[in-house]
Structure 1
Amino acid sequence: MATIFFGVQGEGRGHAARALALVEALRPHHRLVLYANGQAFEMLEPLYVGSDVELYRLPDVAFRYGPGRRLSYVRTGLGNAHYLWRLRQLVRMVELHMEREQPDLVLTDFEPVTARAARAAGVPFLSVDHQHFLLTHDLSDLPAHLRRYAAFMAPFVHAWYQGQTETVVSSFFSAPIKPRWRRCVPIGVLLRREVREASVEDRDHLVAYVRRSAPRSVLEALAASRREVRVYGLGERPSVGRLRFRAIDPHRFVEDLATCEALVTTAGNQLVGESLYLGKPVLAMPEMGNYEQQINATFLRRSGAGAAHDMERLGGLDVERFLDRGPRYREHIERRRLDGLPRALERIEAHLQTPSRVLPFAPPAAPAPAPLREAV
């Protein structure tokens, strides 16, 4: 049994969903020590309090939005200035923890503290995320404004952390790998056990996932679809017409997704991939100013497995047109290619000095009581 430290970035649900997939597969065979912040910590906390998985909280890193609900990189940078000022202190704290525990391997899902601490402590680490596609993938066939964004962001992704033994990039789409990134391993989406084992049905409700920053017109467009819409991301609240507002619950969400007609969502990589794996077409609404989501939406549209539309301009007719084309979208969904978990586990085990001989999808071990830890 190896000891694995795992850092999880907390902005959006995708990082936490990837972490859950890996933790639940590795947990029966290895000791897991997690560091997470923001939404990732909030999703992981109720699952691992008092369990055999150790969980520590890091300070939050969050996106900031400007006028017109547009993602603001300036406000994001200024809003996280205190985090950046404390970064060296946080890295030293985790480095000391690693020196005490002597982990065999460190994983990071775009979380810089654990990555930098691993490098300082001399522990090999793997980067397992989606964001590194901006560095590793050849995006030369994208529209010019998206190519400019990728070129602008690539140095920041590289500066976030470096020195990883290998870069594993999880994505629902595929693109050529740049020649200089020979140590990049492209894989599909990291699917949680609930998603992999979900009973898929085709009922007549929709699932929608939106952030609180979404304009009210999105809800109006969904309400015009004449279908029940199960809305996640806005918290639990009284129903409005056919809109049913539900609190985030990983199990209930997967059940709703597996039985829906289609998904309407922001263009995050993880959720788009989970929906496609379940055979559900996706209408993606990239957030204004979020060019990473715009790239995801572009690849989705090109795949033929879904549609993309500006969030600010979405109307009821756009939703109806998308639903009318549902059968055509389903024909283009390639489910087999989307499951990236086996390949990710293969690469993790390859980097462990004493790889597990147990099948990776055995049931999780019974949890042992342990207190929740918090990094301050």
Structure 2
Amino acid sequence: MARIFYSMAGEGRGHAARARTLVESLRRDHELWLFASDDAYDFLARSYGQNSPHAEVRLLRIPGLRYHYTRGRLDLWKSLRSGLQYAVREMPRLVRAFRQRIAAERPDLVISDFEPSLPRAARAERVPLVSIDHQHVLAAYDLSILPASLRRYAWLMSLGVRLYYRGQAATIVSSFYTPPLKRGWKHVRQVGPLIRPEVAAACPVSGDYLLSYLRSNTPDAVLETLCTAGMPVKVYGLGERPERGPLRFYPIHEQHFVDDLAGCRAVVCAAGNQLLSEALYLGKPVLAIPESQHHEQLINAHFLQHMGVGRWTLLEQFQPAVLRRFLEQLDEFRERTALLCGRLDGTHEALSILNDVLAQATQGRETVPSASAGG
């Protein structure tokens, strides 16, 4: 049995969903310490919190970076300022705390999903590090099909990615799209999205409703447009509310959400990598509505449309005509999503890479579950 430290960014649920997918396989044979903040901590606490039956998994809360919003819209500059303050004030203390914990607990491997402090501590304490995230898309992928503005953003953000990670034993990029790697990044391992066990076990059917997942401060105009869908719409992310025409609002419940995702006709949501991936894995066309300032999601949305499995429009420009056009094209999109249904899972490949790194780190001791072990 090896001991693995695993840290992740806390914004949204995508980092935590990736982590949980791997943890469900890793915990069978290994002890895991999970370090998460904000949304990621809350997501994982449902499975590995205080009353969890999984004693082999420990979950600890850490401070983390967050996006900031002004008047309901993503404020990029405020987010960047907050990030700089975090780097100056929080990170040095957190790196010191991680180094002390590494010295005391002596993990065999460190995994990080775009969390900057544990990788620095691992490097200082000479513990093998594996990076597994989506953000390395910004640095490693050939994004030449994108508009120049998004390429400039990717270049700028790639500087941060390079600062976060140096000297890792393996770099794994998990994404639903796999363009060529740039020169100098050929060592990167490209895998598909890490599909949660509940999603992998779901049986997709094409129902008579849309599924929409929205953030809590979504403008009311978005709901007005969803009301024109001409069919029921199940809305997650806004909490329970009274019915509004064809809209039904549901609290977050992982299994209920997966069941509704598997049974919907199509999905209308933001353009986070994890939710887009899970929808495509279940063969669902997607209308992505990223915010104009959320450049990473804009990149995902461009690739979604380039693959022919959905459309996108800016959240601020989401109008009934856009929704109507998307619904008119569903048969066309379904022909392409059918090619991805049940096949878009990189979990086994990611576990195989981790197995190789951990085998070297432990010099032949017990390793992580092999790709043939399932999970």
- Normalising by the residue count of structure 2, what TM-score does the alignment of the two structures yield? 0.92
The question of whether the paired residues in 2 share the 8 Å contact of 1:72 and 1:289 is answered with yes
**Structure 1 CA distance, aligned partners of 2:369 and 2:170?**
23
**Structure 1 CA distance, aligned partners of 2:230 and 2:108?**
54
State which of 82, 88, 91 in structure 2 corresponds to 1:87. 91
Residue 359 of structure 1, CA deviation: 5.3
**How do residues 345-364 of structure 1 correspond to structure 2 at under 5 angstroms?**
345-353=351-359, 354-356=365-367, 358=369
**Structure 1 CA distance, aligned partners of 2:369 and 2:133?**
25
Residue 83 of structure 1, CA deviation: 2.8
**Structure 2 CA distance, aligned partners of 1:351 and 1:152?**
30
Aligned residue number for residue 344 of structure 2: 338
Aligned residue number for residue 35 of structure 1: 35
**How do residues 30-109 of structure 1 correspond to structure 2 at under 5 angstroms?**
30-49=30-49, 50=51, 51-52=54-55, 53-66=57-70, 69-84=72-87, 85-109=89-113
Residue 236 of structure 1, CA deviation: 2.1
Aligned residue number for residue 197 of structure 1: 201
Residue 29 of structure 1, CA deviation: 1.4
The question of whether the paired residues in 2 share the 8 Å contact of 1:28 and 1:362 is answered with no
- Percent identical residues: 44
Distance of aligned partners of 1:148 and 1:78 in 2 relative to their CA distance in 1, 3 Å threshold:
closer
Residue 239 of structure 1, CA deviation: 2.1
Aligned residue number for residue 4 of structure 1: 4
Residue 316 of structure 1, CA deviation: 2.1
**How do residues 140-289 of structure 1 correspond to structure 2 at under 5 angstroms?**
140-289=144-293
1:73-97 per-residue CA deviation (whole Å, 9 max, x = no partner) reads 3201333455321211111111111
Aligned residue number for residue 142 of structure 2: 138
Instruction: Indicate whether 1:314 and 2:318 are aligned.
Output: yes
**Structure 2 CA distance, aligned partners of 1:219 and 1:162?**
44
**Structure 2 CA distance, aligned partners of 1:236 and 1:363?**
36
Unaligned stretches of 5+ residues in structure 2: 360-364
Residue 2 of structure 1, CA deviation: 1.1
Range that drifts further, 227-236 or 255-264: 227-236
Match for 1:221: what amino acid? T
Larger RCO, structure (CA 8 Å, separation 6 or more)? 1
SS of residue matched to 1:350: helix
**Structure 1 CA distance, aligned partners of 2:65 and 2:90?**
12
Residue 14 of structure 1, CA deviation: 0.8
The question of whether the paired residues in 2 share the 8 Å contact of 1:171 and 1:188 is answered with yes
Unaligned stretches of 5+ residues in structure 1: 365-376
The question of whether the paired residues in 2 share the 8 Å contact of 1:25 and 1:360 is answered with no
The question of whether the paired residues in 1 share the 8 Å contact of 2:271 and 2:297 is answered with yes
**Structure 1 CA distance, aligned partners of 2:200 and 2:343?**
13
Range that drifts further, 144-153 or 332-341: 332-341
SS of residue matched to 1:207: strand
1:173-221 per-residue CA deviation (whole Å, 9 max, x = no partner) reads 1110012112200111000110111011111111101112322111111
Range that drifts further, 230-239 or 173-182: 230-239
Residue 143 of structure 1, CA deviation: 1.2
Residue 355 of structure 1, CA deviation: 4.7
The question of whether the paired residues in 1 share the 8 Å contact of 2:119 and 2:164 is answered with no
Distance of aligned partners of 1:357 and 1:96 in 2 relative to their CA distance in 1, 3 Å threshold:
closer
1:33-52 per-residue CA deviation (whole Å, 9 max, x = no partner) reads 10000100011112112332
Size of the aligned set, in residue pairs, is: 363
Match for 2:24: what amino acid? E
Distance of aligned partners of 1:358 and 1:141 in 2 relative to their CA distance in 1, 3 Å threshold:
closer
Distance of aligned partners of 1:301 and 1:193 in 2 relative to their CA distance in 1, 3 Å threshold:
same
Aligned residue number for residue 362 of structure 2: none
